[in-house]
Structure 1
């Protein structure tokens, strides 16, 4: 059991820990941002939009976001199979916060990089 698992098991009802641990990973915000750009997206379109994500990681991330009710997965019984993803109302309600975080990151990344360099030179 990792330290994170132990900490989360000690505070299972903490909304901050729960939400941040689910959307604060490397891929979830990128998937949500990509889904914001399109109403409905197929799996391969998502994978092309985030070129450095593996198929396995994208699948895992989509399942996690679906389990939290942030996106809807719709599979069509066709050959070849077609699967589409779209944001739920809960997912859409998160987008203003995601957009603010992205804007903040864009506005501050240069200064953050400079601060990191200065810190390393101390």
Structure 2
């Protein structure tokens, strides 16, 4: 297991500060318990109505899902589609092309999580 990060350029205080700021911004936008789960569900299932999405993301309340969807829509990850020509009005949610740019991030996090869980099970960390 490698413990160092390979930077292309020497790590300066300014570059470190910029990197930390960028990571903080990313975590602010996609962090929390539910946002990535919602994004992944939308990417896997396509157009989803609210109640169906709530069933897929098990354990989330309607209020929290509504707030998370608003945040994700504001940040360009989710598009809300209203079919007002139907009665009753149908509202669907869909992931945007922009949300698909997170695929490599999600895959990297998934791989890291798998390795971390394996390390915990094997008790490779010093105590």
The residue aligned with 1:80 is: 88
TM-score by structure 2 length? 0.72
Matched, 1:91 2:86: no
Ranges of 4+ aligned residues in structure 1 off by more than 4 Å: none
CA contact (8 A) 1:42 1:85 kept: yes
Larger radius of gyration: 2
CA distance in 2, matches of 1:110, 1:52: 26
> What 5-or-longer segments of structure 1 have no aligned partner?
1-13
Deviations 1:3-29 (A, max 9, x none): xxxxxxxxxxx4332221121111001
CA distance in 1, matches of 2:32, 2:39: 12
Judged with a 3 Å threshold, the aligned counterparts in structure 2 of structure 1 residues 54 and 114 are, in CA distance, closer, same or farther, namely farther
**Structure 1 counterpart SS, 2:98:** helix
Within 5 A, what are the aligned runs for 1:12-91? Answer: 14-77=21-84, 78-91=86-99
CA distance in 2, matches of 1:99, 1:41: 23
Question: CA-atom RMSD, angstroms?
Answer: 2.4
> What 5-or-longer segments of structure 2 have no aligned partner?
1-20
TM-score by structure 1 length? 0.74
